[in-house]
Amino acid sequence: MSLNTSAFKAYDIRGRVPDELNEDIAFAIGRAYAQFLKPSEVVVGHDIRLSSPELTEALVKGLNASGVNVTHIGMCGTEEIYFATDHYGFDGGIVVTASHNPADYNGMKMVQKGARPISGDSGLIEIRDAVGANNFPHAPGGGRVNKLDHRGDYIEKLLGYVDLEKLSGMKVVANPGNGAAGPVVQSLMEKLPIDFVPVHFEADGTFPNGVPNPLIPENRPPTIDAIAKNDADLGVAWDGDFDRCFLFDENGRFIEGYYIVGLLAQAFLDKTPGSSIVHDPRLTWNTIDIVGEKGNAIQSKTGHAFIKERMRSEDAIYGGEMSAHHYFRDFAYCDSGMVPWLLVIDLMAKQDKKLSELVDERMAAFPCSGEINRRIDDAASLLAELEREYGTDALSVEKTDGLSVEYADWRFNVRSSNTEPVVRLNVESRGSESLMQEKTDELLARMGGDPA
């Protein structure tokens, strides 16, 4: 009997439970992954969603039925699977997670040896087609399940990004949003000389305070209020599987991920001049300006699999997306939601500056709209119309990902999401907040559609 494969996206698996993802499909994914990769041992784990343990169990059964040994690390963040796959030398890794999607969603992210991503360009289509056909040959079975406590090695890796002696006296609000970040932050709390203020700390798959997604403005007040109440130096909030972190300065101001990309790019280039920095095409001017002659700014299509593949091909030291995905060469070229905020507090301590002082000048130089989502019935027609309307007298029009149009003093990118049925708009300008806002309003009026 064929199976529904609508949960397969451009670079991962994500869909509603049980219609688009259920135990039968998870079992078949285990069989298909084994058939494609032919691994001997795979590491698996899952996020805090209520459906995750059962889906993971079915996935493990599918792998075992194919003769694959499984090492299970339990509830974890996505980056812990990346770390374990690379650090312990497994043949592959799978995490069951739907990140920041609604509570009735779940999904999977897959990697092969060395934590190399499995995306549409590197095996995900073959796995999807095998799941859809659901006609697997007889397999030997007999794969074993082992447990692994990886957390100590992972925490040791994270601590290598900071100078512990310089962090003393700092106060940080930490808001996992009831997601998977809480246990990791708890472990870090025992090692870092920092005063932590915990918010929504308990892992809870019912999402009692809403789906953990700090990109939604309505989810930010608890972090902002805790910063003000406790006179904190920084606020950090994570999405559900903590492959992204979001930063708030000492005034409770939400700092767009775009400016953190620039901040980290500058930090890496100060240490290693001439390095390559990979960025996405949505917002670019600040990053390109910072990299300047110090290094090599390389544009990649949006999405974790695409960024990682480009970083490997260029041997880039760091990659960043304005959506708060940050990638590190010495973290197996993978994204992490823990490394960025640790690097930021390390910068704050070493330079004796507040976060606002580190980013204010760049925010004024290149004001941006932040990402704005709209539900559009015919995204392809919209992009074609915007190209005809805005591309004629533009300095450049390019289509690395969606449509990017650049003028002398402002630019925009509009693209269809790889994971949700929405169109995403980003606008930036050179030094003019009013121009940026004017063009943002103009484009939104032209686009129409409903807020998403």
Q: Which residues are catalytic?
A: 99
**How buried is 166 (Cβ within 10 angstroms: 0-12 exposed, 13-18 middle, 19+ buried)?**
middle
Q: Are 322 and 259 in contact (CB under 8 A)?
A: no
The beta strand positions in 91-142, using DSSP E, are 92-96, 105-112, 116-117
DSSP letter assigned to residue 283? S
| C-beta of residue 261 within 8 angstroms of C-beta of residue 326 | yes
Q: Which of 120, 100, 106, 138 is nearest to 25 (CA)?
A: 106
DSSP state of 256: P
Report helix, strand or coil for 387.
Answer: helix
Q: Kindly calculate the radius of gyration of the chain based on its CA atoms and give it in whole angstroms.
A: 22
Q: How far is CA 364 from the centre of its chain?
A: 26
Residue 276 φ/ψ, nearest 5 degrees: -95, 140
Look up tokens 């918010």; give the residue: 199
293 and 251 in contact (C-beta within 8 Å)? no
Residue 289, Cβ neighbours under 10 Å: how many?
Answer: 14
Element (H, E) at 83: helix 78-87
Measured between alpha carbons, how far is residue 158 from residues 153, 338, 342 in Å? Answer: 9, 7, 8
Tell me how far apart the terminal alpha carbons of the chain are, to the nearest angstrom: 36
* Encoded amino acid at 162, one letter: V
CA-based angle 452:12:152, to the nearest 5?
A: 105
Those residues with Cβ within 8 angstroms of residue 104's Cβ, 6 or more apart along the chain or in another chain = 16, 17
Return the C-alpha torsion angle 365, 301, 215, 103, nearest 10: 180
Rounded Cα distance between 247 and 157, Å, is 21
> Residue 217's CB: how many other CB atoms inside 10 A?
9
